[in-house]
Amino acid sequence: QSTWDTSLAIMSRPHHAGPRPVGQKEATRDIASAVDASLNVVASPNADAIETEEAGYLQALREAEEERRRSALVRVQQRALLDPIVLEYFHSQSPDEFEAALTRIGDDDVFVGMGIDPVASVVRRAIEISMGLQGRERELVSVMLAELTSDERPLSRATLEKAFLDLLSRVQELSIDMPYVTDMVGRFLSRAVVDEVLSPAFLTAAAASLDEADTVGPAAVRLARELLKMSHAGLRIEHSWGFKLEYEEVGSLKRKIQELVDEYLHSHDVAEAERCVRELGAEHFNHEVVKRALIAGFDTGFKSRVAVTRLLSALGASGCVSSDQMQLGFRRVLERIDDLRLDSPHVYEAFMQDVCRAIRSGALDPGFCL
């Protein structure tokens, strides 16, 4: 007879009037035993299966966490290698220099072990970093994509498409820290189409490739399509960053800066040089004035270097060149010291003398040397 039958028999006994303390206690004990036994009978066959299922679930969680940590480590390593290239481009504003960097990393074996396309990755990082900065940096990225994308160059159309696909696959994650990421990515996509480095058909293919659970990436693609349908879409999209600096304008600025530096080293007319710097109207690019003046001083001797210090001191004192731009100009020279040494073995010593003079004159913050 089963335990359940026993318990039911006990519970179905006729009720006798009057108190029966001993019988009730016995019945209570019987019922409790029957319930416990029945639970054991039901649970026992499945206990091992449940334990196995829980162990498998925990193992899957551990493996997912290990994969997340590995991915995070690889991402940190990638950023350590790629981000300086992007930041240097924002400083130099030279697509040609950026392309040279793409060529170098494309031949670097260190990226093979990471299993990534370094060119596509650095382009994606350029877009991501610019989205956290200002319109100037986003415009520089758009100009760079327009200038460098070609199947005969390191940044081919297929590589650019891969960079955008990688970006779109990460938009959902990026939206946690960048609520405006949908708008930014949509504008980058539409600008690339207007500049004819992405085809309109890419937008359709990109939307189809995204995960069904992803809602942010498809929204960015839809925005790009909507922007391209606007009246006068090309003109509006070209000015969507609120900052317009064409590659030709950058080259023109550099030529004008070199001309004013050469003229100053010939005349030593500080007031005229300062007037020319102000006429450039490119406060964000004054670090180029500092850099080119310092390098020109290396090539023309000690007296010219002293004259350069005098000019930089005047530009800093008048506010024509900000403290940040001054430091950035010196930093860019320092970053190029190894290359400059090839033509002038003592350039580092000369640079450190220039730094000391600039600090004494008040042109450079003393913290630069720390």
> 113: pLDDT confidence band, cut at 50, 70 and 90?
low
More confident residue, 2 or 125: 125
C-alpha to C-alpha distance for 52 and 342, rounded to whole angstroms = 67
More confident residue, 29 or 354: 354
Instruction: With a cut of 50, say whether residue 18 has pLDDT above it.
Output: no
Sign of torsion, CA 316 318 324 328?
negative
Taken as a whole, the chain contains a residue count of: 370
> 238: pLDDT confidence band, cut at 50, 70 and 90?
confident
pLDDT at position 199 is 86
More confident residue, 194 or 335: 194
More confident residue, 9 or 203: 203
SS (H, E, C) 81-145: HHHHHHHHHHHHCCHHHHHHHHHHHHCCHHHCCCCCCHHHHHHHHHHHHHHCCCHHHHHHHHHHH
Q: How much helix, strand and coil, in percent to the nearest 5, is found in the chain? A: 80, 0, 20
248 Cβ neighbours under 8 A, 6+ residues apart: none
Structure tokens at 48: 């091992």
Instruction: With a cut of 60, say whether residue 284 has pLDDT above it.
Output: yes
Q: What average pLDDT does this structure show over 17-27?
A: 49
34 Cβ neighbours under 8 A, 6+ residues apart: 3, 4, 6, 7, 10
Q: What average pLDDT does this structure show over 292-305?
A: 89
| Residue labelled with tokens 């010939």 | 266
More confident residue, 206 or 77: 206
169 by Cβ neighbours in 10 Å (0-12 / 13-18 / 19+) ranks as middle
More confident residue, 47 or 172: 172
> 32: pLDDT confidence band, cut at 50, 70 and 90?
low
* Cβ pair 119, 106 in contact under 8 A: yes
Q: What average pLDDT does this structure show over 256-275?
A: 92
More confident residue, 18 or 70: 70
CA dihedral 348, 288, 130, 89 (to 10 degrees): -50
C-alpha to C-alpha distance for 84 and 142, rounded to whole angstroms = 18
* Cβ pair 241, 139 in contact under 8 A: yes
Instruction: With a cut of 80, say whether residue 262 has pLDDT above it.
Output: yes
Q: Percent of the chain beyond pLDDT 90?
A: 29
Q: What are phi and psi of 198, to 5 degrees?
A: -125, 145
Q: Percent of the chain beyond pLDDT 70?
A: 76
pLDDT at position 29 is 57
pLDDT at position 21 is 47
Instruction: With a cut of 50, say whether residue 118 has pLDDT above it.
Output: yes
pLDDT at position 72 is 58
Work out the mean pLDDT of the chain and round it to a whole number. Answer: 80
pLDDT at position 147 is 87
Sign of torsion, CA 283 287 292 294?
positive
Greatest mean pLDDT among 22-36, 218-232, 237-251: 218-232
196 Cβ neighbours under 8 A, 6+ residues apart: none
Give Cα separations from 327 to 161, 221, 359, 362 (angstroms): 37, 40, 11, 12
pLDDT at position 244 is 58
Task: Convert the pLDDT of each residue in 160-214 to its tens digit.
Answer: 999 999 999 988 888 888 888 899 999 999 999 988 889 888 998 888 888 777 7
Q: What average pLDDT does this structure show over 205-227?
A: 86
Instruction: With a cut of 70, say whether residue 98 has pLDDT above it.
Output: yes
More confident residue, 60 or 47: 60
DSSP letters for 218-264: HHHHHHHHHHHTSTTHHHHHHTTTS----HHHHHHHHHHHHHHHHHH
pLDDT at position 162 is 95
C-alpha to C-alpha distance for 264 and 293, rounded to whole angstroms = 9
Q: What average pLDDT does this structure show over 301-326?
A: 90
129 Cβ neighbours under 8 A, 6+ residues apart: 83, 86, 87, 137
Lowest mean pLDDT among 35-49, 67-81, 226-240: 35-49
C-alpha to C-alpha distance for 163 and 170, rounded to whole angstroms = 11
